[in-house]
């Protein structure tokens, strides 16, 4: 009997995108190994598997893939478990749209500007730049408005079951909400707030949460 190839996720424990991949692996019921790589402290080590010295990188046997959107699609299509991508064209396009918003517009202001300054740096005893945090909060407003408009009345962006859009976006919004200002801003978006609560209640979210 052939032993199936092992799955190893190379990531940073504080990485929002590493969390998104762990979330997808958990939702699919995949057993994986974790390889901790801090791209800030160990850029040369990170560059061994990622040409831009970033994380995450998924290794499945002899196959290696980086970039979160590609990893998430691979996880859904390569392993058994609940489907995380809709088959209907409009629903699939909406899923990709939300993923693109997460990467292009949400991550930087919500995580790297606000969360990093108001949560991560204080937690690690580092100096805080409140001007950067305010800038992040300001830039996050139109992002939240766009996501609120795309959130349907179902619990998830894809309706009754989560898709890759939910798994991609949830760690970003959850980190943003950890900042007091972020949580207050999110509270004014009824559907988006309810969506995050639904995601936070999922066992996979609780099991993979990095903080």
Predicted TM-score of the model (pTM): 0.97
- The closest of 199, 207, 140, 137 to 168, measured between CA atoms, is 199
Which CATH architecture best describes the domain 89-203? Up-down Bundle (1.20)
Where do the CATH 1.20.1050.10 domains begin and end in the chain? 89-203
Report the pLDDT averaged over residues 1-12.
90
Query: Residue 120 in contact with residue 131, Cβ under 8 Å?
Result: no
Long-range (24+ apart) CB contacts under 8 A made by 37-42 are: 37/10, 37/11, 37/12, 38/12, 39/12, 40/12
Report the pLDDT averaged over residues 179-192.
97
Q: In sequence order, which residues have a C-beta less than 8 Å from that of residue 67 and are 6 or more positions away? A: none
Is the pLDDT score of 2 beyond 90? Answer: no
Report the pLDDT averaged over residues 66-79.
98
Share the mean pLDDT of the chain.
96
* DSSP 8-class letter at 47: T
| Residue 164 tokens, joined | 């890759």
State residue 107's pLDDT score: 98
Report the pLDDT averaged over residues 140-156.
94
- Summarize pLDDT for 18-40 with one digit per residue, the tens: 999 999 999 999 999 999 999 99
Give residue 151's pLDDT band: very low, low, confident or very high (50, 70, 90).
Answer: very high
State residue 6's pLDDT score: 95
Q: Domain 7-78 in CATH: superfamily?
A: Glutaredoxin (3.40.30.10)
Q: What is the CA radius of gyration of the chain?
A: 17
Give residue 154's pLDDT band: very low, low, confident or very high (50, 70, 90).
Answer: confident
Task: Give the other-Cβ count within 10 Å of 138's Cβ.
Answer: 13
Q: What is the DSSP string of 29-87?
A: T---EEEE--TTT-HHHHTTT-TTS-S-EEEETTEEEESHHHHHHHHHHHS-SS--S-S
Is the pLDDT score of 152 beyond 90? Answer: no
Task: Give the other-Cβ count within 10 Å of 8's Cβ.
Answer: 16
Query: Residue 53 in contact with residue 15, Cβ under 8 Å?
Result: no
56 upstream amide cis, omega within 30 of 0: yes
Where do the CATH 3.40.30.10 domains begin and end in the chain? 7-78
| Beta-sheet strands, E only, within the chain | 7-11, 33-36, 57-60, 63-66
Report the pLDDT averaged over residues 73-92.
96
Query: Residue 84 in contact with residue 76, Cβ under 8 Å?
Result: yes
Give residue 3's pLDDT band: very low, low, confident or very high (50, 70, 90).
Answer: confident
- Tokens 């972020």 belong to 182
Is the pLDDT score of 1 beyond 80? Answer: no
State residue 81's pLDDT score: 97
């Amino acid at each position: 009997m052939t032993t199936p190839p092992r799955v190893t996720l190379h990531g940073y424990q504080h990485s929002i995108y590493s969390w998104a991949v762990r979330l997808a692996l958990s939702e699919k019921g995949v057993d994986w190994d974790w390889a901790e790589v801090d791209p800030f402290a160990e850029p040369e080590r990170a560059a061994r598997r990622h040409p831009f010295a970033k994380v995450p990188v998924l290794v499945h046997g002899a196959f290696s893939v980086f970039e979160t959107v590609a990893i998430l699609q691979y996880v859904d299509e390569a392993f058994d478990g609940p489907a995380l991508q809709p088959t209907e064209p409009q629903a699939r396009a909406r899923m990709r749209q939300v993923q693109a918003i997460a990467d292009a517009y949400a991550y930087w202001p919500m995580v790297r500007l606000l969360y990093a300054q108001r949560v991560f740096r204080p937690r690690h005893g580092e100096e805080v730049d409140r001007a950067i945090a305010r800038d992040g909060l300001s830039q996050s407003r139109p992002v939240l408005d766009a996501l609120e408009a795309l959130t349907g009345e179902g619990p998830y962006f894809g309706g009754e079951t989560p898709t890759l859009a939910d798994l991609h976006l949830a760690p970003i919004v959850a980190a943003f909400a950890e900042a007091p200002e972020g949580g207050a801003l999110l509270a004014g978006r009824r559907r988006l707030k309810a969506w995050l609560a639904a995601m936070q209640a999922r066992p996979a979210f609780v099991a993979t949460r990095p903080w």
